[in-house]
Amino acid sequence: MNMARVFFVGLLVSFLGSLPLGTLNIAAMQIAIGQGIQSAMLFSLGSLLAEMIYVRLSLVAMDWVRKQRLLLKLLDWLTVLVVVALACSSFYTAMQTKPAPNPVLEVALPKLVLGFVMSALNPVQIPFWFGWSAVLFSRKVLLPESKQYYLYIAGIGFGTFLGNCIFIFGGQYVAQRIENNQQMLNWIIGGVFVFTAFLQLYKIVRHKDTLHQIEEKVTETSN
């Protein structure tokens, strides 16, 4: 019974965490609109694979992760650059008089690889999962056992995939409803990416980036 609970807790936390607008779920939605459901699914599978690796690191190697200060700061800035590029490409697509592909999301990479790379460059998942895992450890919901780790991570992967499916199929539905006004949708998506980029910059400038969030979580769990 506890094993099933570990799986479903991971699924629920991951599913709810995937629902707020973010770089990856909006990108999946944009791929679904422009390139179809299959491409968006492959992108999502790649992104959740990177997330599952981050979760595994947060469970067994957080001390090592904390020491990679330069790498974490570099990933934060790379995240800003990727989101700015996505915003610019969305605006570029919106300004075309004829339907045009998104230059960033149409790069010559398999969608599975593209999803993995974009997710790997998004280190905000590390403090999120470190915090949740610490809570579950403290409440004895999650125990330091390999079987529980695998079930927990499997639940997280499934929850993320379900959350992304809402954006993938929802994006398709919206695109069909406004079939003659795709430009407006691209302007909206570009605006979301701009907001995300400014939010990431704000966190870096205000010292609320990934490294500082991890340190805060460590302090909270040690008290």
Helix ranges (H only) for the chain are 2-18, 23-35, 37-60, 62-67, 69-95, 111-120, 125-138, 146-177, 182-205, 210-222
| Nearest-angstrom CA–CA distance, 91 and 74 | 26
pTM (predicted TM-score) = 0.78
Give the model confidence (pLDDT) of 51-77 as tens digits.
898 888 878 776 666 667 777 777 778
Domain coverage including residue 104: 2-222
CB 27 within 8 A of CB 105: yes
- Phi first, then psi: what are they for 203, rounded to 5°? -65, -40
| Nearest-angstrom CA–CA distance, 219 and 223 | 6
DSSP 105: T
Give the model confidence (pLDDT) of 186-196 as tens digits.
788 888 888 88
Domain count for the chain: 1
- Phi first, then psi: what are they for 102, rounded to 5°? -75, 120
Token pair 């407006």: residue? 184
Give the model confidence (pLDDT) of 82-97 as tens digits.
888 888 888 887 777 6
